[in-house]
Structure 1
Amino acid sequence: MRQGLVPAGTAAEYDLSGVAVAGRISAPEMALAAATEALKASETSAEDIGLLLYTGVWHQGPDGWGPQAYLQRHLLGDDLLAVEVRNGCNSTFSALELAAAYLQASPGIPAALVTASDNFGTRLIDRWNPGAGVSFLGDGASAVVVSTTAGFAELRSLCSATFSEMEEAHRSGVPLFPPNATAGSALDYGARSTDFQRKAESDGSWVRLLLGHQRHNLECTERALEEAGVAARDIRHVLVHSMPRQAATSYLKILGFSLERSTWDFSRTVGHLGASDHVAALHHLLSTNRLGAGDHVLLCGFSPGVTYKAAVLRIRDLDPTQRRKAQCSGL
């Protein structure tokens, strides 16, 4: 704000105090650093990884090139399935869901690696003005090792839902062809959302769509809690996407939680990290000793589609050595 990058009124309204900026470090380079740390912390060797799922929400490098190959070349080698997963801000959830199913179906493969990485410092998006109601965009990367052996946390449930009737909400007013990037057009989610709401209010569908959006959010979260065998009162922390204070408060209220039970106090310091929000927040809780054995953590969010995700983790017994090693790297 002191540099004039964010209007004082907007910063006060959103109550966001910082944004992580990576400068010229590319998303694949950040992903490699996160993945290297995840393997080291979880004491998993590269040879044990039989699946690499690379996620992100923004452009990763040269068009027509796959960033997952960069991690293969510099860390993992070629004897594994490596795929880029694109599911918006919920990409890490989807990758975890795919990884769990892959490991269950492949008993000879002990572990999978899920990475997420984004650098928003490009001219096709303004991180300081991404659109009305959208959080400032922060750069960052995360990685988790998903294993069939015990790690610092156990994935108790992971649920998905979709409300495709609202898919236009994130593209309204923008032609399907040519793609924005090829035309050099900047992304403005705020303008698209405003255009979508205007049309929905005009045809009388806005209230129904809004209620449907809230219902899908709630039902997905309730299903994740039920499948994990816990109630809302059993959740120690709720991990959410980075949002302005008012948006986060409203979102959590729909799910039956207060802002104080969430990791919003952390996310307000780094901005919206694309698909890394939840893993970064989990790392923060562990590194600040805010989690203990037996704690249940709820991760939830929504992204363009509209897709909804919710997962419940149970923290396992961590001695001081294990806690130092956890680093959000082994599920």
Structure 2
Amino acid sequence: MKFGDDLRIKTATSWLPPDHETVEDAVATGKLAASEVERIGVAQLSVSSRWSGPEMAVEAARAALTRANWDPSRVGLVLQTWIYHQGHDMWSPPHFVASQLGTPDALAYAVQQGCNGGAQALQVAAMHLAADPGIGAALITSGDRFLPPGFERWNCDYGLGFGDGGSAALLHHGDGEPDDWALVSLASATAADLELMLRHGDEFSPTPLWHSSYIDLKRPKKSYMNAYGKERFGEIATTMIRKVVVDSIHDARLEIDDPRIKYIALPRLGDYLLDGIYLPVLSDALKAEQLRFGAKTGHLGCGDFLSNLADLRDHVPLEPGDVALVVSGGAAWTWSSAVVQVPERSE
């Protein structure tokens, strides 16, 4: 999807709690097997001792509005995304975020597509702005807190650990003032039949946590792979990742080997997953340097995509006109690739 020439990410921010759990502590306390340390490939996971997911989303959004010097009354759309419990049952986190930020009249709703929710929410926001310029600006937020007993952050899935945190991005039509990024294009692709991976072998249940005492993603995945083989998912995933990367670059009217494409930010997954699925296709398709920002956070769920936008800005050398890709994926399954560019300075 090619966007107009004036669509801008005013700023992107992440908010992480001050506490964390190290991989050494996780092994010592039996939360993580020593054999999994190298596969997960993180030093620590961010851990919230008091803030809920929506509260961390609000903190990230406040930081974004402050950094942008943006009046909340100019926000016409609030989209919140998450993957785990938000602190209350049968409740609307997006409306909480909008209320807390002083944007109670903004249209507020959820965008949920697994861990790809950040990318999908940005795409939805861009379409809103294209259809209704009167919105002014859209605020995309995410926030998750992965606590026991319902969630075992070190052990609920293969090859990754889950960290707590919030993230946000402010999207608007450029007005000549400084912006973090021009949002040039964003491509997505879905393999809907892979939804079976997260329920294989389990009947539909009447209540949450019916099949196990915590969110156990390994059990249905193992059942699925026993039935269909380990190779099937890898083949589909690499095809889809290549497709969204190539499509996003094409939609941006760039060539794969364009020297302006400096970096590609990878999802905050474990090294085992990145090395096995993402790197082979990306190394073959692009010469851009691949970046991993998750060593001190772990996988932030929907927050990976938005936090990577902030870390790209803050931690790598980029000049006006330089281009970066941000790649994301979420069960089960949609992948996305965004092309962002450092805006040229106004004369």
TM-score range, shorter chain: 0.7 to 0.9
Paired residue type of 2:107: L
Q: Deviations over 1:114-164 (max 9, x none)?
A: 00110102311100112332x100001100000012522011111111111
Does the CA-based 8 Å contact 1:152-1:317 persist in structure 2? no
More helix by share: 1
CA–CA distance in 2 between the matches of 1:108 and 1:54?
20
CA–CA distance in 1 between the matches of 2:280 and 2:53?
34
Structure 2 counterpart of 1:112, from 138, 155, 177: 138
Partner of 1:27: 53
CA–CA distance in 2 between the matches of 1:52 and 1:14?
33
TM-score by length of 2: 0.84
Quote the sequence identity (%): 28
Partner of 2:304: 277
1:72 corresponds to 2:98: yes
Structure 2 counterpart of 1:171, from 193, 199, 212: 199
Does the CA-based 8 Å contact 1:119-1:138 persist in structure 2? yes
Structure 1 counterpart of 2:172, from 129, 147, 163: 147
CA–CA distance in 2 between the matches of 1:2 and 1:292?
38
Which blocks of at least 5 consecutive residues in structure 2 are unaligned?
1-22
CA–CA distance in 1 between the matches of 2:316 and 2:242?
29
Partner of 1:54: 80
SS at match of 1:185: coil
Q: 1:189 Cα shift?
A: 1.6
Moved more, 180-189 or 43-52: 180-189
Does the CA-based 8 Å contact 1:292-1:318 persist in structure 2? no
Does the CA-based 8 Å contact 1:173-1:195 persist in structure 2? yes
1:225 corresponds to 2:249: yes
Does the CA-based 8 Å contact 1:248-1:259 persist in structure 2? no
Structure 2 counterpart of 1:254, from 281, 285, 290: 281
Paired residue type of 1:20: S
Change (3 A) 1:291 1:279: farther
Partner of 1:238: 264
Change (3 A) 1:7 1:185: closer
Partner of 2:321: 294
Which blocks of at least 5 consecutive residues in structure 1 are unaligned?
320-331
> Any residues of structure 2 matched to 1:96-111 within 5 Å, and which?
96-111=122-137
Does the CA-based 8 Å contact 2:148-2:214 persist in structure 1? no
1:45 corresponds to 2:67: no
> Any residues of structure 2 matched to 1:188-207 within 5 Å, and which?
188-201=216-229, 207=231
CA–CA distance in 1 between the matches of 2:44 and 2:203?
33
Partner of 1:136: 161
Change (3 A) 1:189 1:263: same
CA RMSD of aligned residues (A): 2.2
Paired residue type of 1:249: D
Partner of 1:2: 24
Does the CA-based 8 Å contact 1:28-1:70 persist in structure 2? yes
CA–CA distance in 1 between the matches of 2:332 and 2:315?
34
Partner of 1:304: 331
Moved more, 94-103 or 298-307: 298-307
CA–CA distance in 1 between the matches of 2:193 and 2:149?
31
Partner of 1:328: none
Q: Deviations over 1:226-283 (max 9, x none)?
A: 101223434211112112213212312213368992221x212210001111222222
SS at match of 2:317: coil
Q: How many residues align?
A: 313
Change (3 A) 1:318 1:17: farther
TM-score by length of 1: 0.87
CA–CA distance in 2 between the matches of 1:307 and 1:273?
17
Paired residue type of 2:147: G
More strand by share: 2
Paired residue type of 1:93: A
Partner of 1:16: 42
CA–CA distance in 2 between the matches of 1:35 and 1:20?
18
Q: 1:286 Cα shift?
A: 2.0
CA–CA distance in 2 between the matches of 1:231 and 1:141?
34
Partner of 2:235: 211
Paired residue type of 1:223: D
Paired residue type of 2:190: T
Partner of 2:341: 314
Paired residue type of 1:91: G
